[in-house]
Amino acid sequence: MKSHKTLLALALCAPFLLACTDRAADADAPVDGSADRPSTMDDGAAMNTTHTVTAAIGPDSPYAEGAAAPAREPDVIYVPTPEPVVDAMLNLAGVKAGDVLYDLGSGDGRIPIAAAQRFGVRGVGIDINPVRVREANANAEAAGVTDLVTFKEADLFEEDISEASVVTLYLLQSLNVKLRPKLLAELKPGTRIVSHAFDMADQWEPEQTQEIDGTRIYLWTVPAR
Ligand SMILES: C[S@@+](CC[C@H](N)C(=O)[O-])C[C@H]1O[C@@H](n2cnc3c(N)ncnc32)[C@H](O)[C@@H]1O
């Protein structure tokens, strides 16, 4: 009787466990944001919304072949920000010539690449997954912005981000909160931080929010010390 209950519980939980698995190894993310498989980014109890998105990940990524596994399990699955939301994030951050944009967890590189294309600004993307970094480099090459953007395979919690004047995030609320002390310690006063979908709970009130394409984006500015 007990084992029947266990099996039933496992069957009920399976979809949720799968949704939380990083599908990095089978990643194939078109830069156009077209989608082929549903996925969820769910920050559990701490999350402000159940943010259901459609991930552009397929099983046959040319970038996955021969790529090393991530140095450790990524903190969040890969889900690309839709292009209209990327544009809105850059606008909300007030990106302008001379800025240096860091995307922490940069996926296929679309945010630094769009910033370079639209504003001619330098960008750095950091992603722990080597497949994502390969994709981002290929996309930067295709976009003709390799002189402006760099992608690093690294843990975003470990990298020096002090040169950024704009930081973009699409992580989870719990990761934003965990990242907050680093943002406040390393970034210069006046640096703008924009997050897609996730705020910083009661740890840091955003100064602006905007609804776009059924999601929400948030803006903070690093205060004077
Ligand atoms: C939801 S995706 C966002 C991708 C991109 N910023 C965008 O908005 O399209 C999150 C990304 O963070 C990366 N990631 C997860 N944990 C990380 C960590 N500790 N350090 C660096 N990257 C990480 C994942 O590999 C994934 O590509």
Q: How far is the CA of 79 from the centre of ligand 1 (A)?
A: 8
Share of the chain above pLDDT 70, in %: 73
Instruction: Name, in order, each residue with C-beta under 8 angstroms of 115's C-beta and a sequence gap of 6 or more.
Output: 90, 95, 99, 101, 121, 123, 166
The number of residues in the chain equals 225
Q: Is the CB of 128 inside a 6 Å radius of any atom of ligand 1?
A: yes
pLDDT single digits (tens) 100-127: 999 999 999 999 999 999 999 999 999 9
Helix (H), strand (E) at residue 141: helix 130-143
The whole-model pTM stands at: 0.81
pLDDT at 219 over 50: yes
Q: Is the CB of 179 inside a 6 Å radius of any atom of ligand 1?
A: no
Helix (H), strand (E) at residue 115: helix 110-119
- Look at the block and give the residue holding tokens 């951050």: 93
- Structure confidence at residue 156 (pLDDT): 98
Q: Which residue has the higher pLDDT, 130 or 38?
A: 130
21-221: CATH superfamily: Vaccinia Virus protein VP39 (3.40.50.150)
Closest ligand 1 atom to 76 CA: 15
| 198 contacts 171 by C-beta, under 8 angstroms | yes
Given ligand 1 and candidates 127, 153, 198, which is best to mutate, with the most ligand atoms within 8 Å of its CB?
127
pLDDT single digits (tens) 138-175: 999 999 999 999 999 999 999 999 999 999 999 999 99
pLDDT single digits (tens) 18-56: 233 333 223 333 333 333 323 456 664 333 444 433 344
- Structure confidence at residue 35 (pLDDT): 32
pLDDT at 184 over 60: yes
Residue 132 DSSP symbol: H
pLDDT at 67 over 90: no
- Structure confidence at residue 119 (pLDDT): 98
| 127 contacts 139 by C-beta, under 8 angstroms | no
